[in-house]
């Protein structure tokens, strides 16, 4: 409970009148006591006549799941403790201390209507994890608006923020897979693979090397073997979870962009008949999930990726790549999601990726920071902006040197801004499968 602005204004006015009576009146004590006494009586009556905290109940959303980087609308309702009976609440001001990782308004207004007060709050999830909103402070005005009543209500709202798989749930990945499978690469996947698909009649224009002479003799006509791309490949998603991956780009940490793209690729791989595994590392290996197939495998991938914590330690690429190489018993596609600052810090990364690339197919995924391009394209107005543009150009040049070096080693490089990584990564994976490189 605290005095309202109206009460403070009235008290200030009475104080001025009291001062005037002291200065100009002969016997000011009586009027002064009467004014302050009346105000005290009004305040006490206001408090007594105003319904207390227990007369109302705050209803809040229960457990809700949302994707990282997206927003959710939460509705809060202040209603009488007994539905349809008791005093009706007026407008109130609510305040919430949002947990770190959730971005919402610190305070909002509950507007009356239909016998209660409601407010819809938009919250944005900036981090993965489980978040609890345990308490909501509600400030109501008294009946005569002389006192502000502040009450804390328990809240059962739980928000579970998980990796963003919107590209999967919307069907975007399935459409891309279908486009590749039935588009320009369909004939390549069906005709130049290593796995037998079916026999068909040989017609003019077909490659004579596909003729199966034994079966042709048995059928009394020329038949040809039709091949298709082999399935059941091993695909390992290797996620760097070091401190460089905590840097925010486009409102999300890099690791969350990487996880979203990795899960999209994992879904594409499972839909394509391959086995997909997960590997996470920072200063040391943290998680290894052997490649598996089927939709239950994707559910496990998503669960394990959602549990990855945000770490603030430097990545040890030598230990990570060596450990992964020992885990892999057969040739597979290793997709490394990592980052670097300059050519010096990337030296060990390049060396260990080169060693891994000798026995496996390696794709390297990196996020391009849009700010580097923005600094270079922006017109410089002073020396500070010139220095920023020069520094950005230098970082961009060193970045290109490292990526070009990886490409010359035979590594498939996917370097794009956050919004374009998933589509390019899935396209690269389908291209690798179509070329039978695994």
pTM equals 0.80
Indicate the average pLDDT of the chain: 85
Q: How far apart are CA 402 and CA 25, in angstroms?
A: 89
Higher-scoring residue by pLDDT: 379, 228: 379
Cβ atoms of 115 and 80 closer than 8 Å? yes
Q: How far apart are CA 427 and CA 265, in angstroms?
A: 9
Higher-scoring residue by pLDDT: 49, 336: 336
Higher-scoring residue by pLDDT: 369, 326: 326
Helix (H) or strand (E) holding 6: helix 5-24
Cβ atoms of 125 and 72 closer than 8 Å? yes
Q: How far apart are CA 423 and CA 402, in angstroms?
A: 22
Higher-scoring residue by pLDDT: 160, 217: 160
Higher-scoring residue by pLDDT: 402, 112: 402
Residue 406 in 3-state DSSP?
Answer: helix
Identify the pLDDT of residue 404: 93
Identify the pLDDT of residue 73: 92
Helix-strand-coil split of the chain, %, nearest 5: 40, 30, 30
Range scoring the smallest mean pLDDT among 18-22, 206-210, 360-364, 434-438: 206-210
Helix (H) or strand (E) holding 347: helix 347-357
**Contact partners, residue 275, CB within 8 Å, separation at least 6:** 232, 233, 234, 235, 269, 291, 292, 293, 297
Residue 102 in 3-state DSSP?
Answer: strand
Plot region of 84 (φ>0 → left; ψ -120 to 50 → alpha; else → beta): left
Range scoring the smallest mean pLDDT among 8-22, 106-120, 271-285: 106-120
Mean pLDDT for 92-109 is 90
Is 191 a residue whose pLDDT tops 50? no
Range scoring the smallest mean pLDDT among 26-30, 38-42, 67-71, 164-168: 26-30
Phi, psi of 277 (to 5 degrees): -125, 170
* pLDDT per residue as tens digits for the range 248-305: 998 899 999 999 999 999 999 998 889 999 999 999 999 999 999 988 999 999 999 9
* pLDDT per residue as tens digits for the range 297-338: 999 999 999 999 999 899 999 999 999 999 998 899 999 999
Percent of the chain surpassing pLDDT 70: 92
Higher-scoring residue by pLDDT: 205, 311: 311
In angstroms, what CA-CA distances link 326 with 41, 72, 320, 331? 82, 43, 10, 12
Identify the pLDDT of residue 184: 46
In angstroms, what CA-CA distances link 104 with 95, 109, 121, 133, 156? 11, 13, 7, 12, 17
Cβ atoms of 251 and 70 closer than 8 Å? no
* pLDDT per residue as tens digits for the range 220-259: 888 887 766 566 889 999 999 999 999 999 889 999 999 9
Cβ atoms of 190 and 231 closer than 8 Å? no
In angstroms, what CA-CA distances link 241 with 78, 159, 315? 43, 23, 7
Identify the pLDDT of residue 189: 47
Exposed/middle/buried for 344, CB within 10 Å: 0-12, 13-18, 19+?
exposed
Three-state secondary structure readout of 272-339: CCCEEEEEEECCCEEEEEEEECCHHHHHHHHHHHHCCCCCCCCCCHHHHHHHHHHHCCCCCEEEEECC
Range scoring the smallest mean pLDDT among 193-197, 380-384, 404-408: 193-197
Identify the pLDDT of residue 402: 92
Identify the pLDDT of residue 25: 75
Q: How many CA atoms lie within 13 A of 137 on its CB side?
A: 10
* pLDDT per residue as tens digits for the range 122-163: 999 999 999 998 889 988 888 878 888 888 888 888 999 999
In angstroms, what CA-CA distances link 272 with 230, 234, 263, 299, 427? 10, 11, 14, 16, 13
């Amino acid at each position: 409970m605290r005095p309202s602005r109206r009460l403070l204004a009235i008290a200030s006015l009475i104080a001025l009148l009291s001062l005037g009576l002291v200065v100009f009146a002969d016997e000011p004590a009586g009027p002064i006591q009467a004014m302050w006494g009346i105000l005290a009586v009004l305040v006490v009556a206001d408090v007594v006549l105003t319904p207390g905290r227990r007369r109302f109940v705050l209803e809040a959303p229960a457990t809700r799941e949302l994707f990282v980087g997206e927003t959710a609308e939460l509705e809060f309702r202040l209603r009488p403790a007994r539905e349809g009976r008791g005093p009706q609440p007026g407008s109130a001001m609510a305040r919430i201390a949002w947990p770190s990782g959730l971005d919402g308004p610190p305070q909002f207004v509950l507007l009356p209507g239909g016998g209660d007060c409601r407010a819809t709050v938009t919250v944005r999830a900036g981090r993965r994890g489980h978040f609890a909103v345990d308490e909501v402070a509600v400030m109501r005005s008294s009946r005569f608006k002389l006192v502000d009543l502040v009450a804390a209500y328990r809240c059962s709202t739980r928000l579970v923020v998980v990796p963003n798989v919107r590209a999967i749930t919307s069907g975007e990945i399935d459409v891309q897979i279908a486009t590749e499978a039935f588009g320009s690469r369909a004939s390549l996947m069906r005709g130049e693979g290593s796995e037998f698909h079916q026999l068909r009649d040989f017609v003019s224009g077909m490659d004579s090397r596909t003729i199966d002479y034994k079966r042709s003799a048995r059928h009394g006509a020329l038949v040809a073997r039709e091949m298709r791309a082999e399935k059941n490949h091993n695909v390992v998603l290797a996620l760097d979870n070091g401190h460089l991956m905590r840097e925010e780009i486009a409102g999300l940490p890099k690791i969350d962009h990487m996880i979203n793209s990795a899960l999209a690729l994992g879904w594409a791989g499972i839909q394509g008949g391959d086995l997909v595994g997960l590997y996470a590392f920072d200063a040391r290996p943290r998680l290894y999930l052997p490649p598996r197939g089927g939709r239950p495998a994707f559910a496990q991938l998503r669960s394990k990726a959602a549990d990855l914590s945000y770490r603030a330690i430097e990545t040890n690429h030598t230990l990570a790549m060596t450990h992964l190489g020992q885990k892999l018993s057969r040739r597979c596609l290793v997709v490394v999601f990592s980052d670097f600052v300059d050519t010096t810090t990337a030296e060990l990364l390049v060396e260990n990726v080169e060693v891994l690339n000798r026995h496996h197919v390696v794709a390297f995924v990196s996020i391009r920071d849009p700010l580097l391009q923005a600094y270079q394209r922006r017109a410089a107005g002073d020396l500070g902006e010139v220095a920023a543009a020069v520094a950005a150009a230098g970082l961009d040049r060193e970045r290109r040197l490292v990526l070009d070096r990886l490409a010359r080693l035979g590594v498939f490089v996917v370097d794009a801004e956050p919004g374009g990584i998933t589509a390019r990564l899935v396209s690269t994976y389908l291209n690798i499968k179509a070329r039978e490189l695994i």
